[in-house]
Amino acid sequence: MEATKYRWDNDKFKLALFRNIVLMQSLAEVLDDLENTPVYRQSVKNRCRSLSADLMEFLKHFIGVYYQENEDDMLLISRGIDKVTEALSTWHPSQMMVLEEVLNDIERQFDEAQKINAESGEVLD
């Protein structure tokens, strides 16, 4: 792939990185629960730590760039990530059964807000 596809000003790249960071943060939380179990062997532990460290290098730069541009948005996103991570790492499976319904409701609300804002000339990212 071309190097330009990985520039920080490329929105598609930022979004892909952001999604991976959210998922990695959640994974790191649940992996902590596996520590001291037979599943958490040395090779698994080493791979998880290595992947997490690699992504954190990108995260530091991404947060620096994004935070400077959108401080309030970054704080809201950070709180949202924390809530999602907490839910994914602590909820009982029976609680997770409603996630699809909740996420569909959020998507519908966002779509409705976009339509309203489009009518007024505003656009949500």
More confident residue, 106 or 27: 106
Are 86 and 96 part of one and the same domain?
no
Q: What residue numbers bound the domain in which 114 lies?
A: 92-125
Q: Supply the mean pLDDT for the chain.
A: 76
Report the number of distinct structural domains present in the chain. 2
What's the average model confidence in pLDDT over 40-58? 75
Are 82 and 34 part of one and the same domain?
yes
What's the average model confidence in pLDDT over 61-65? 68
Instruction: Count, in order, helices (H) and strands (E) of the chain.
Output: 5, 0
Are 59 and 77 part of one and the same domain?
yes
pLDDT at 123: 57
Residues contacting residue 12 through CB under 8 Å, at least 6 positions apart: 5
Are 38 and 57 part of one and the same domain?
yes
Whole-model pTM: value is 0.53
Does the pLDDT of residue 54 top 90, yes or no?
no
More confident residue, 120 or 94: 94
Are 118 and 101 part of one and the same domain?
yes
Does the pLDDT of residue 47 top 60, yes or no?
yes
Are 53 and 111 part of one and the same domain?
no
Are 123 and 74 part of one and the same domain?
no
